[in-house]
Structure 1
Amino acid sequence: MTTPLVETGRFRIVPLTHRQLKKYIKTDFSLEKELGVKPVPRTVPPALMEALEVMLLPSMEGLFSVPLFFTLWTIIHKQENIIVGDLCFKGDPNEAGEVEVGYGIYDDFQNKGYMTEALGGIILWAFQQPAVKCILAETEQENLASQRTLKKLHFEQYQQVNNMLWWRLTPSARVVHDSTSPGKAF
């Protein structure tokens, strides 16, 4: 089992290494075996597959450490010991301290508050990093579930470009949650 970097009430959230990202793409349960979790069938959405193959894997080639703002973080349900979704940052914080986050929860685990809790945990971790001053997110206008998650975490919509909505969260806007407590970061 890999030690989580972020832990919440229900989840261990683990940043994947280059080798683990390659296993993630295979969907042959080799990643699950390495992480010590139960194998549950999953698919890699086309947009995520492209990001992994074009951006993440090439940027991590030959690195001995995990670039935490440039890898996939897997969400492991502690009690069930299964992967339920993923999070990622879309690169290092820019000069203004902004970092964009992306996320997805597998179909069988949607509408259970899982992403709100996991994203809350990764937000807590991110704001503990000195370079991070603001977290951004992008959602499709039709993706109401994702918008609800962001609103629960106190993101504010600040821009719309065509069909895409842009959201922003600063540390001053973040409020500690009640039952979805984002947990602690290690």
Structure 2
Amino acid sequence: MLKGTPNEQEEVMIGYYTLPPYWGQGYMTESIIALKDWLLHQPNAKYVIADTEKENMASHRVLEKAGAVLFKETKSLYFWRFHL
């Protein structure tokens, strides 16, 4: 899902969820790659950002496989970024 339009830094946030029967089959990685590729070709979108809870290792792996880079963290979240 998109969490809004690009902000002043040309960042657009995405979120995602997969039902348990579909975990580990590559659907979310493939979907995120397609979404971020589309977003990065839109006007005013230079970065695609996703956040994950620190203990959500499966989500970390999905974003890493899709090409995201960890760039920021808070007490409970990691923030991942894709760019052109």
Provide the TM-score with structure 2 as the length reference.
0.95
In structure 1, the gaps of 5 or more residues are 1-87, 172-186
In structure 1, what is the equivalent of residue 36 of structure 2? 123
In structure 2, the gaps of 5 or more residues are none
Q: CA deviation at 1:158?
A: 1.1
1:141 aligns with 2:46: no
Q: CA deviation at 1:155?
A: 0.9
Give the aligned residue type for 2:57.
L
Q: Which has the higher contact order (CA 8 A, sep 6+)?
A: 2
Give the alignment partner of residue 109 of structure 1, picking from 5, 22, 28.
22
Alignment of 1:22-101 (within 5 A): 88-101=1-14
Alignment of 1:164-179 (within 5 A): 164-171=77-84
Provide the TM-score with structure 1 as the length reference.
0.44
- Aligned identity (percent) is 36
Q: CA deviation at 1:165?
A: 0.6
Give the aligned residue type for 2:81.
R
Q: CA deviation at 1:104?
A: 0.7
RMSD: 0.8
Q: CA deviation at 1:134?
A: 0.2
Offset from partner CA, 1:97-135 (integer Å, 9 cap, x none) = 100110011111011011000111111111121111001
Structure number with bigger Rg: 1
